[in-house]
């Protein structure tokens, strides 16, 4: 057991200069984020730009976006395990590690957004009070943690078996894999329901929100994965076939069609005739009473998304790595803006009593968010480093010597 841990530490501490530099940079960003977070805990959330009029901001926006990234692991699981598309099956584990890291980030973002995070025990059933099934937030806590546990078990079970040089048992693996599909849809649906269930905010209170969340998640998550996979392919012995990347690109295209269609439906119904949804949409797309801070952002998001969509739609550009990568970057940024600032903030503008407070994250919020992202990327880097070491055979159990030991463990 300790031997195994020692080996893992050895794997983690060895690597190229670029790897070491990357990890060092992440640690520095985490340190800065932590310092800012301490300031925030000390002063309270007054240190952020959130106020009573816009009571959720950048943190919850990031949380929402990252739930999408986490849910996107399904994009690999479905073709890999249900359709036995071999090139993707080989990289499913990386998708699941990404899901784990994204959920971890989600949980951190929610925690730092809380006014009294030290009271987290109030949420624990029996000791505290868990308002289930009334509160959608309680549902979200449940499904997110379940999804985290599920993905962690799939990852650790697969790696453990590989570490021991054995093949995983289908009886254990398949139910977990199949369960992870609805679980992924679940986390994003429930997260969408947090917003969609609130009639007080007409901007959020729409039927199409959950489907749109999932469609956009199946674009942004894979876009992130595609880039990461190519970095891994370049820097490690881990092999990822081009076919797999192009297949993901194709899935992204379909998801993007749906996403744009939902966006169009939503905007149409909310703006065609006067309704209680007008004001928020007007603020977002055009500016309201001279307040128009989000207008350039949302239009650039739309342009980025459309450009990415065209690059994905045309087979020639979709099946070329340079253009595919460009599409991924455009799409990732586009959806990050659209779902981050573009979803959470306009829900509060105008406020329930018609006030306009133009929220934009301040340096502290952005700094802390970068720290959280760095933390998530660190989790991803370290986990995939271990995974790749195990898969490539660098990290293997010397079973002849340790047979008894690991059996007991």
Quote the least distance from Cβ 113 to other proteins, whole Å.
7
Say if residues 53 and 357 touch (Cβ distance below 8 Å): yes
Out of 350, 367, 371, 376, name the contact with other proteins by CB under 8 A: 350
Residues in the chain: 409
Quote the least distance from Cβ 5 to other proteins, whole Å.
22
Residue placing its CB nearer to other proteins in the complex, 268 or 354: 354
Q: How far is CA 88 from CA 4, 235, 396, in A?
A: 29, 19, 23
Taking contact as CB under 8 A, which single stretch among the options 38-46, 62-70, 366-374, 384-392 is the one that binds other proteins?
Answer: 38-46
Residue placing its CB nearer to other proteins in the complex, 6 or 128: 128
Residues 73-112 that bind other proteins (CB under 8 A): 110
Residue placing its CB nearer to other proteins in the complex, 116 or 408: 116
Q: Which segments within 47-126 are labelled E, that is strand?
A: none
Residues 257-286 that bind other proteins (CB under 8 A): 279
Hey, CA dihedral for 362, 363, 367, 373, is it positive or negative? positive
Considering the rule CB under 8 A, would residue 224 count as an interface residue with other proteins? Answer: no
Residue placing its CB nearer to other proteins in the complex, 67 or 397: 67
Tell me the helix, strand and coil percentages in the chain, rounded to 5.
75, 0, 25
Out of 114, 172, 178, 403, name the contact with other proteins by CB under 8 A: 114
**How far apart (Å, rounded) are the C-alpha atoms in residues 367 and 380?**
20
**How far apart (Å, rounded) are the C-alpha atoms in residues 355 and 117?**
29
Quote the least distance from Cβ 54 to other proteins, whole Å.
8
Residue placing its CB nearer to other proteins in the complex, 146 or 227: 146
Size of the site for other proteins (CB under 8 A): 55
**How far apart (Å, rounded) are the C-alpha atoms in residues 286 and 406?**
63
Residue (of 349, 368, 290, 312) closest to 62 by Cα position = 368
Say if residues 209 and 195 touch (Cβ distance below 8 Å): yes
Q: How far is CA 249 from CA 19, 315, 321, in A?
A: 27, 10, 10
Binding mask 179-218 for other proteins (x = CB under 8 A): ---------------x--xxxxx-----------------
Considering the rule CB under 8 A, would residue 133 count as an interface residue with other proteins? Answer: no
Say if residues 103 and 71 touch (Cβ distance below 8 Å): no
Out of 8, 12, 107, 138, name the contact with other proteins by CB under 8 A: 138
**Binding residues vs other proteins (CB under 8 A):** 43-46, 50-56, 110, 113-124, 126-131, 134-138, 141, 194, 197-201, 279, 288-289, 347-348, 350-357
């Amino acid at each position: 057991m300790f031997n195994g841990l020692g080996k893992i530490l050895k794997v983690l501490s060895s690597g190229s200069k670029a790897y070491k530099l990357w990890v060092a940079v992440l640690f520095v960003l985490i340190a800065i984020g932590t310092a800012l977070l301490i300031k925030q805990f000390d002063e309270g959330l007054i240190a952020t730009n959130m106020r009573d009029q816009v009571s959720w901001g950048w943190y919850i926006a990031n949380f929402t976006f990252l739930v999408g990234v986490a849910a996107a692991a399904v994009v690999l699981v479905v073709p890999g395990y249900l359709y036995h598309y071999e090139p993707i099956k080989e990289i499913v584990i990386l998708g699941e590690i990404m899901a784990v890291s994204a959920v971890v980030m989600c949980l951190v973002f929610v925690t730092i957004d809380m006014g009294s995070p030290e009271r987290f025990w109030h949420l624990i059933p029996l000791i505290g009070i868990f308002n289930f099934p009334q509160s959608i937030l309680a549902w979200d806590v449940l499904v997110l943690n379940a999804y985290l546990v599920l993905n962690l078990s799939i990852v650790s079970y697969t790696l453990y078996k590989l570490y021991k040089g054995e093949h995983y048992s289908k009886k254990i693996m398949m139910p977990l894999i199949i369960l992870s599909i609805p679980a992924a849809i679940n986390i994003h649906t429930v997260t969408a329901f947090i917003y969609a269930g609130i009639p007080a905010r007409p901007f959020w209170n729409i039927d199409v929100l959950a489907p749109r969340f999932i469609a956009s998640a199946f674009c942004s998550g894979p876009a992130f994965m595609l880039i990461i996979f190519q970095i891994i392919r370049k820097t490690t012995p881990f092999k990822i076939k081009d076919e797999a990347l192009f297949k993901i690109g194709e899935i992204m295209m379909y998801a993007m069609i749906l996403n744009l269609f939902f966006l169009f439906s939503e905007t149409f119904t909310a703006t065609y005739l006067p309704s209680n949804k007008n004001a928020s949409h007007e603020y977002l797309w055009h500016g309201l009473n001279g307040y128009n801070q989000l207008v350039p952002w949302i239009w650039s998001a739309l342009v980025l998304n459309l450009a990415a969509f065209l690059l994905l739609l045309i087979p020639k550009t979709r099946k070329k790595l340079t253009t595919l990568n460009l599409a991924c970057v455009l799409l990732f940024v586009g959806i990050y803006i659209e779902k981050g600032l573009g979803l959470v903030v306009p829900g509060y503008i105008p406020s329930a009593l018609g006030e306009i407070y133009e929220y934009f994250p301040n340096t502290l919020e952005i700094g802390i968010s970068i720290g959280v992202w760095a933390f998530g990327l660190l989790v991803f880097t370290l986990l995939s480093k271990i995974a790749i070491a195990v898969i490539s055979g660098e990290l293997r159990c010397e079973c002849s010597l340790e047979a008894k030991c690991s059996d007991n463990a």
